[in-house]
Structure 1
Amino acid sequence: MTTTSALVLLLAPRINETGLQLRTAAGRRGLRAYTATSWQAPPELLDTSVHIYGGPLFGDAVGREFGLGLLEPAADWLTRLPLDLTGRRVSRITLAEARRLRHPAFVKPPVDKVFAARVYPDGVALPGPELLDGDTPALVSEVVRFAVEYRLFVLDGEVRAGSRYAIDDDLSVAPLDQAPDGQAADALAFAGDVLAASSAAAPLPSAVVVDIGRTGDGSWAVVEANAAWASGGYAADPDAVLDVVLRSGGPAAQLPAADRPFLRELPDVVR
């Protein structure tokens, strides 16, 4: 657990429920929590060790000024996992290629939410070239129905916190340890397989969120991986979530060398 009072947790202006929980958790351990009042780096914090929690737009807005190293999984991470972990074939193609699909497929942007992630009846239903360039990357996968889905916060290859977040595609939030019929143990066992595979063929950053689910036929499959500094915690333990968030969205100079390939490319911001 990170306990130094020299850290500042900077929260995005549009603070969500997880942000409120993290602010409380930070206060319990003596960290200063600061909610930004605009989409700019607060000048009074520029000489402090800042860690952030907020969406990609907030990370891009303040990241360079604070020298942040924002960790996110590789855009093609899902495509590099074996089929027995994904439960469906996943490919990374361009949006122009995806528009030529003539069958239903689940299509999502690999990183930022530049278009809606959902099942499209065919490629014609995707955003057209008047909205998004054809070279926009897209992840395309076979359609799989998840009966239940869990979010896991991972630090140094270990699950530190988890929460159920959906049942049959509907929001349904509950702590992981309250899952019925040994489902929590099964989820953690499957997560162990995923993290073991990730340490070899499909590496992940040291702090990350991994979503997994049980499909309609009772098997387990990976849903996706996301940046912890921009992910909702649902009913996961806020103190454990905070540990993962602090690593995932803090000063770049403090990150281990193994995390360098997972740094988000931050834009120059003109004031």
Structure 2
Amino acid sequence: MPTLLHSPRYSDDSIKLRRAAIVLGWDVLRLASWRCPEAFEPEEPVLFAEPLFNTAVAEQLGLAVIEPPEDFLVGLPREYVGREVRLMTAAEARTLAGPMFLKPPNQKTFPAKVYASGSELPEMPDDDPVLASEPVEWAAEFRFFVRDRRVHAWSPYWLDGALARVGDEWIVEPVMAATTRCLVDRLLADPRVDLPPALVLDAGVIGGVGPAVVEANVASGSGLYGCDPRDVLEVLRAATVVNSSL
């Protein structure tokens, strides 16, 4: 039986997943610290929490959290990206003229945003990885929880420069949702694209360009937005692996 593990930090998403897991008959445990209880050996641990917590707990359980490779966006065929994206070191990024959109590939080690120039990057080791791309305007963005190259759950999250939500309702712009979903389905069926067993794909529509992938994220630390938590749980089950299988 799966055991859903949460960190001590409460969030709306962790509460939604906890309720869904209980309905499905899973065990659920919110750890009191970053240390697992003594002799704790769950049959099938499933993690959902902050990335650093997930990494620490996974190591204690002999697991590894599955992450998209740092060069995921760079390695995609241009038809899925819609803009130039480069992976470089922080030292190289600091030499870039701007404006330039800069972000860390996986860990949130510095703010992802448009910088007037690379010299504005915050202090970090010179060899830290940085993704650099031309600034674009996203008309809409959507989140897709993917397992074994199939979308299990999706939701809008950004529309016309703001969170795609009014009250408790997530707003779907049907045309942009359909074109984005078509792009994602093509990518998932494309044998040129290597994918981990579980990940979150953010994709949307670039103004004046069309549908494109925003980024790939770790499933076990990504927000749900309007995704059905029951479907997300199925993706989370594949989001960690035994260390020896890496």
Alignment TM-score, normalising by the size of structure 1: 0.84
What is the identity percentage for the equivalent residue pairs of Structure 1 and Structure 2? Answer: 37
Query: How do residues 1-271 of structure 1 correspond to structure 2 at under 5 angstroms?
Result: 6-43=1-38, 45-46=40-41, 48-128=43-123, 132-173=124-165, 179-197=172-190, 199-200=191-192, 202-217=193-208, 219-249=210-240, 251-252=241-242, 260=246
Unaligned runs of 5+ in 1: 1-5, 261-271
Say which SS state the counterpart of residue 247 (structure 1) adopts.
coil
Whichever residue aligns with residue 60 of structure 2, its letter is E
Distance 1:114 1:178 in 2: 30
Whether the 8 Å CA contact 2:142–2:177 is kept in 1: the answer is no
> Equivalents in 2 of 1:76, 1:110: separation in Å?
7
Amino acid corresponding to residue 244 of structure 1 in structure 2: V
- Give the 3 Å change call, closer, same or farther, for CA 17–209 of structure 1 in structure 2: same
Compared CA separation, residues 158 and 113, structure 1 to 2 (3 A): same
C-alpha distance after superposition, 1:187-235 (max 9, x if no partner): 22111122234x42x3111111000011112610100001111101110
Q: State how many pairs are aligned.
A: 245
Which letter maps to 1:112? Q
Asked whether the equivalents of residues 201 and 215 of structure 2 are also in contact (C-alpha less than 8 Å), the reply is yes
Q: Is the 8 A contact 1:108 1:139 kept in 2?
A: yes
Q: 1:176 to 1:66 in 2, by over 3 A?
A: farther
TM-score by length of 2: 0.92
Q: 1:106-163: per-residue Cα shift (whole Å, max 9, x none)?
A: 11111101111111110111013xxx11111111111111011000011111111101
Structure 1 position 86, deviation (Å): 0.6
Measured after TM superposition, the shift of residue 176 of structure 1 is 11
Runs of at least 5 residues in structure 2 that lack an aligned partner in the other structure? none
Task: State the distance in 2 between where 1:106 and 1:12 align.
Answer: 32
- Is the contact made by 2:170 and 2:226 (CA closer than 8 Å) also made in structure 1? no
8 Å contact kept, 1:150–1:176: no
